[in-house]
């Protein structure tokens, strides 16, 4: 369950989360287009794209500074919100915040929650594959020994890497490419682990659902019984006070 950040933070997030997500998608499109179509783009267009990326990066940097300042957790905010920190380093990764659906304790408790979680899974995988493909293509395209020279090659490599299949037909040879590979493996394994844990928690909840319902019913019964007792005591006190007034 997400921890409260304070009313100022909540108001800020409610107002700016959607615009920041839109800016992240713009960054993703501009960044991807500049790398995938780099050979066919005029130099002036490339320069404009770099300027757009720089402006968006500055906006994200200002955003996380503001969030850190107004959060009740202060600088601990950076440790508890790693995706926001990653979004400053790689703004295109900000849409991965849909993974926060897994942090909600009742994510699988209802049909709507399960649907939302499955949508988060699909979107996260698609974004992860896309970002990893573009990143490794940028690192490997100009390396002579590399076999990853097209976006199709990069997408295939990203798919077999995230799924931990690792056929070995394509592999990065540059330092930057291998760093991307390590991050893809770690995030892929983490994503699979989170999904597995969420589904397991759902099954545990289903198997213990009857006990939970019985316990909740008992709690409701005790609460109502206490309310009746309090009401009876209040009635007795009112009667005593009324008798005292009459005696006077």
Lowest mean pLDDT among 13-17, 64-68, 149-153, 189-193: 189-193
Angle between helices 7-36 and 43-70 (to 10 degrees): 160
Sequence-distant (≥ 6) Cβ neighbours of residue 73 within 8 angstroms: 3, 5, 80
Task: With respect to residue 198, please indicate whether it lies within any of the assigned structural domains.
Answer: yes
Same domain as 217, residue 123: no
- Residue 167 shares a structural domain with residue 197: yes
CB atoms within 10 A of CB 137: 26
The CATH number of whichever domain residue 185 belongs to comes to 1.10.287.70
Residue 4: DSSP 8-state: P
Structural domain range at position 117: 104-207
**Domain stops at, among 39, 67, 94:** 94
- Model confidence pLDDT, tens digit, residues 145-194: 888 989 999 999 998 888 877 777 888 999 999 988 888 888 777 777 76
Contacts of 136 (CB under 8 A, 6+ apart): 148, 154, 157, 158, 172, 177, 180, 181
pTM for the whole structure: 0.67
* Distance between CA atoms of residues 46 and 56, nearest Å: 15
Considering its fold, how many domains does the chain have in total?
A: 3
Q: Which of 71, 94, 117 is the last residue of a domain?
A: 94
Q: Is residue 99 a part of any domain in this protein?
A: no
Out of 94, 118, 145, pick the residue that ends a domain: 94
- Shared-domain flag, residues 237 and 151: no
How far apart CA 126 and CA 37 sit, in angstroms, is 20
- pLDDT tens for 19-53 read 888 888 888 899 999 999 988 889 999 999 999 99
Does one domain contain both 197 and 217? no
| Integer Cα distance of 142 and 191 in angstroms | 31
Q: Is residue 221 part of a domain?
A: yes
Q: CB–CB of 76/8 below 8 Å?
A: no
* Alpha-carbon span 63 to 85, nearest angstrom: 10
């Amino acid at each position: 369950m997400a921890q409260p950040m304070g009313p100022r933070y909540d108001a800020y997030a409610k107002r700016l989360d959607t615009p920041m997500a839109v800016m992240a998608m713009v960054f993703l499109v501009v960044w991807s287009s500049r790398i995938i179509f780099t050979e066919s783009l005029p130099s002036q267009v490339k320069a404009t794209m770099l300027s757009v990326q720089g402006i968006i990066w500055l906006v994200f940097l200002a955003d996380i500074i503001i969030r850190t300042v107004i959060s009740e957790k202060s600088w601990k905010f950076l440790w508890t919100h790693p995706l926001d920190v990653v979004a400053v380093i790689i703004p295109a990764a900000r849409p991965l915040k849909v993974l926060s659906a897994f942090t909600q304790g009742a994510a699988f408790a209802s049909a709507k929650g399960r649907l939302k979680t499955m949508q988060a899974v699909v979107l996260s995988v698609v974004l992860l594959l896309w970002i990893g493909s573009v990143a490794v293509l940028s690192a490997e395209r100009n390396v002579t020994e590399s076999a990853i020279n097209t976006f199709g090659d990069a997408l295939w490599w990203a798919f077999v890497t995230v799924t931990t299949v690792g056929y070995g037909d394509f592999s990065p040879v540059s330092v930057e490419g291998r760093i991307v590979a390590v991050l893809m493996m770690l995030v892929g394994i983490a994503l699979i682990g989170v999904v597995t844990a969420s589904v397991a928690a759902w099954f545990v909840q289903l198997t213990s659902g009857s006990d939970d319902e019985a316990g909740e019913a008992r709690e409701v019964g005790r609460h109502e019984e206490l309310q009746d007792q309090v009401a009876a005591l209040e009635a007795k006190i009112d009667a005593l006070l009324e008798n005292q007034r009459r005696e006077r």
